[in-house]
Amino acid sequence: MENDDVLLKRFLSCDTCGKFMRAYKSKKIDKWYYKCCTKGCGSNKRADDLHERFQAMLESLTIPPDEQLNELVRIKLAAKYREANKENTLLKSELNKQLAELEKKISRLEERYVLEEIDREMFFRFKEKYQAERAELVANLGLTEMGVSNLENALESAMAYVLKLAPMWAFSDYENKQKLQNLVFPSGMTYNREKDECRTSRINSVFAYMSSLALVLENKKTGNSSQKFGVAGLVEGTGEMSDFFEGDLGLFKRM
């Protein structure tokens, strides 16, 4: 059931036992809480406090609307994707080359049959063989398209999100808040009672990369060496952000 008072339901987990924290309303003070119901665990935290922390996590990933800075981030984001996609690009090029050569063979086969250089049996035997090879090549080419087929649109979409992450979440309806939460933090969020802190095991690597890059570029531009609470402070020690880059960017082509 949709409830704007408990936006992190089935997204927030207890850091101790890994179970989802349930939502309940305190009748005594008329406030919503998230609670871990695992016996002996008992993590319990005000919902509005965790929502503020989640908002802060999004703000740490949001980059400033600086035209020059944003263009640099966009250029480097494209370069990062092409680097991650280099092997796939080479494979696609090789498959297209093989397909073009095969089409020539098919065309030549048909020409020889029309000129009666080969008989009907030989023609259909080789045609069947070539068609099977073509079907396999086309199928393999299809697999290389599983990434971002329209890089420019994906880049534009990613930039639009990263510039407005925090306000976008704050002013969206319940359903879109949920979508945004899972887009940015695919593994959800955990709450540690002892440390009283929120963490995640994975940030969408596109947001992580853009946020870190923007911070470095901004500091170089201003000469400011101070660090804001950013990506490193959000992710648990076991978190991986780089291995998912190509797939994470691919998510934006559907937005």
What is the per-residue pLDDT across 41-90, written as a single tens digit (0 to 9) for each? 878 999 999 999 999 999 989 998 888 888 989 898 888 888 777 777 78
The angle formed by the CA atoms of residues 130, 135 and 140, to the nearest 5 degrees, is 125
Both 209 and 126 in one domain: the answer is: no
Both 166 and 244 in one domain: the answer is: yes
> Distance between CA atoms of 184 and 165, rounded to whole angstroms?
9
Q: Residues 9, 1: contact at Cβ < 8 Å?
A: no
So what's the pLDDT on residue 87? Answer: 72
- Please indicate, yes or no, if residue 211 is contained in any of the structural domains: yes
- Please indicate, yes or no, if residue 44 is contained in any of the structural domains: no
Q: Beta-strand (E) ranges in the chain?
A: 12-14, 22-26, 31-35, 44-46, 189-192, 197-199
- Please indicate, yes or no, if residue 95 is contained in any of the structural domains: yes
pLDDT classification of 225: cutoffs 50, 70, 90: very low
Both 124 and 95 in one domain: the answer is: yes
- Please indicate, yes or no, if residue 64 is contained in any of the structural domains: yes
So what's the pLDDT on residue 84? Answer: 73
Domain of residue 214: give its range.
52-80+151-254
- Please indicate, yes or no, if residue 220 is contained in any of the structural domains: yes
Both 113 and 233 in one domain: the answer is: no
pLDDT classification of 234: cutoffs 50, 70, 90: low
150 secondary structure, DSSP code: -
Both 158 and 230 in one domain: the answer is: yes
What is the model's pTM? 0.71
Both 63 and 155 in one domain: the answer is: yes
Both 237 and 176 in one domain: the answer is: yes
So what's the pLDDT on residue 145? Answer: 64
- Domain end position, chosen among 96, 119, 144: 144
User: Rounded mean pLDDT of 170-195?
Assistant: 92
The angle formed by the CA atoms of residues 231, 84 and 97, to the nearest 5 degrees, is 165
- Please indicate, yes or no, if residue 223 is contained in any of the structural domains: yes
Both 133 and 213 in one domain: the answer is: no
Which of 2 and 105 is assigned the larger pLDDT?
A: 105
Both 218 and 131 in one domain: the answer is: no
Which of 148 and 75 is assigned the larger pLDDT?
A: 75
What is the per-residue pLDDT across 112-140, written as a single tens digit (0 to 9) for each? 989 889 998 889 888 888 988 888 888 77
